[in-house]
Amino acid sequence: MGDTTELMATVLRLLDEERLAYLYTELLKHDDWMTTQDLVETSGLPESTVYDALGELRETSLVSTEQEGRKRLYRANSFQLGVLSQGEITTMTPTTLAAVGQQLVDEDVEAFVEDYGIDKLLRVVEYVKPYVDGRMSERLAARELGLPAVVGMTVMVALEGVIEEMQTVDPYFESIRDASEDEPHTPDDGPVEVQYDETTRIVIEPTDDEHSGEDSVENHR
């Protein structure tokens, strides 16, 4: 897969483009090479939308391409990325993009992002994990997220299906923070290592008065 800088730029871009996030997720769910027509049929989106999106995705490290005769085939690549946001480490995986992509097909998720933003949606994902397993109620999750009960319950239910599905599709699913068990990492906890792939890890150093924390990438073979 591409280098960490390119990966981060791509993931951040897809956080803002639910169309690309949704089609990336559809590719990943099938875990096989797909043609444009295959993706049109499985996604239910217009062919022109799928064609344009694949043209953009194939320029990134998240999607691989292969030529088979006159057909171009596409396949999604999994990823894991640690990002320091608002003093906490957020682990992003394909499940993150699956939640973002739901804006395209679910009005409740779309309305939630319009009102509360993508950052809040990513926090919700950490609560949907224990909710799906029956270890946390919607009301408790809403309270801890600082959301009105109805809003929290609505978005949790809206994401439940896709999060359940991603448990069996996303190889990095377990690395997503579980809000019922884990305290979020903060820079004060010391260096935090987030595995990116088999050869690279992102190390986020703590901050202090003398220097600001920076992400460093170490290759180890």
Residue spans per domain, the chain: 4-76, 81-175
By the 8 A CB rule, do 97 and 14 touch?
yes
pLDDT for the residue numbered 220? 35
Our CA angle for 182, 184, 185, nearest 5°, is 115
pLDDT for the residue numbered 4? 78
Closest by CA position to 62, among listed 131, 132, 7, 22: 7
Weakly modelled stretches of the chain, pLDDT under 50? 184-221
pLDDT for the residue numbered 79? 94
Q: Where are the alpha helices (DSSP H) in the chain?
A: 4-16, 18-30, 36-43, 47-57, 94-101, 107-116, 118-132, 138-145, 149-167
Sheet architecture: strand order including 200-204 = 192-195, 200-204, 215-219
pLDDT by residue (tens digit) across 29-42? 998 899 999 999 99
Please give the radius of gyration of the chain, using alpha carbons only, rounded to the nearest integer.
18
Fold of 4-76: Arc Repressor Mutant, subunit A (1.10.10)
By the 8 A CB rule, do 65 and 58 touch?
yes
pLDDT by residue (tens digit) across 57-86? 999 999 999 998 889 999 999 999 887 765
Roughly how many angstroms between the first and final C-alpha of the chain, as a whole number?
15
Q: What is the pTM of this model?
A: 0.79
pLDDT for the residue numbered 182? 54
